[in-house]
Structure 1
Amino acid sequence: MNNLNSGEVVQIHSYKHDGNIHRAWQQTVVIENSNDLIIGANNKTKVTESDGRNWYTREPAVCYFYKNHWFNVIGMLRKDGVHYYCNLSSPYLFEEGTIKYIDYDLDVKVFPDFNFKILDRDEYDKHRKRMQYPPKIQAVIDQELQFLLNMINNREGPFRPGITEHWYRVYINNIIGGI
């Protein structure tokens, strides 16, 4: 386990397999840190793209970063319910005040009714060839995608009904309210 405490503000950096920065979130607030999982939350945080463009997230989000799984999950709280965006990625690494991971292109968008879409297969295929993803990584991505889809279908982890709303309340009541 790392030395992160609830309430600490950290950045999030997403890289590509070739080591280049892909995207950076200016801040997220740690609300839970365990041996396998960091949960953070943010609202209207600044995001910087690799080309220098900036934008701000539109809604509150709870982010789940795994130490032993090749994906992360962002639960976005919207008026019609929680929407999830799942990135197939390396397990996180925490260093220099930043949660870091490698984005492996494939994404899963999950709607409030738990229907989902797998996105960016073309981007995955293009980068897999161009950056020469090793066969072991390709196999892990395939395996972890199936694990993630099972979590979604079984409403486990971040997909358990009410859990993202719970963590957002912890963020608002205990973290933001305590600052």
Structure 2
Amino acid sequence: MDGLEPGKNIQIQSYKHNGQLHRVWDTTTVLKGTSNRVIGANDKTLVTESDGRTWITREPAICFFHAKYWFNVIGMLRDDGIHYYCNISSPFVFEDGAIKYIDYDLDVKVFPDMTYTLLDEDEYEIHKEQMNYPEVLDKILWNNVDNLMNWIRQRKGPFSPEFVDQWYEFYLTYRS
């Protein structure tokens, strides 16, 4: 797909339901890019929050985005194993050199032993009310929480044992 060629650097932009920019990851290297799926990697990349605050990611991460699923997955390579942070979000779009998605607050944190925790349900409820999420959207999002948890339990896609390690090895070929 144009702009998603392996080795190309792109941005990741997260928005809220009301269209407000939420967070921007400055540089992510595309490892595989199609109209349906993007796998990227970054390490020590600049992140800018909506209020202007910035921070730098601490470890290498493999990012998984899909145009059909309402979640994305970040696999972070740490000393004690792979930690995953999963955002319940709209499917991604790619435009103007950036992956863009709407973050719907609900997150799933997955630990190296593949246990997981659902986070930010309170934040979700507040934003659902403030931004008037339609009932059909609420159902889609909760169905995707279930779908994501099934992927985790089944070690599917980015949760398969070799996924993050293999893509990280590939990423290193672009950094040498």
TM-score normalized by the length of structure 1: 0.96
Q: Which residue of 1 aligns with 2:86?
A: 86
The Cα offsets for residues 93-113 of structure 1, whole Å up to 9 and x where unpaired, read as 100000000000000000000
Partner of 2:5: 5
Q: Take 1:107 and 1:121, find their aligned partners in 2: how far apart are those partners? A: 8
Q: Measure the CA separation in 2 of the matches of 1:99 and 1:132.
A: 25
1:36 deviation in Å? Answer: 2.0
Aligned residues: 176
Gaps of 5+ in 1: none
Once residues 36 and 82 of structure 1 are traced to their aligned partners in structure 2, the CA distance between those partners, rounded to angstroms, is 25
Corresponding residue for 2:162?
A: 162
Residue 35 of structure 1: CA displacement? 3.9
RMSD: 0.9
Distance in 2 of aligned mates of 1:2 and 1:38: 12
Matched, 1:134 2:126: no
Shift of 1:162: 1.8
C-alpha displacement of 1:33: 1.3
1:59 counterpart residue number: 59
User: Cα 1:106–1:43, aligned 2, differ >3 Å: closer, same or farther?
Assistant: same
Change (3 A) 1:47 1:3: closer
TM-score of the two chains, using structure 2 as the length reference? 0.98
Question: 2-side partners of 1:149 and 1:80: how far apart?
Answer: 22
Counterpart residue number, 1:107:
107
Deviations 1:13-50 (A, max 9, x none): 00000000000000100001134210000000000000
**How far did 1:3 drift?**
4.4
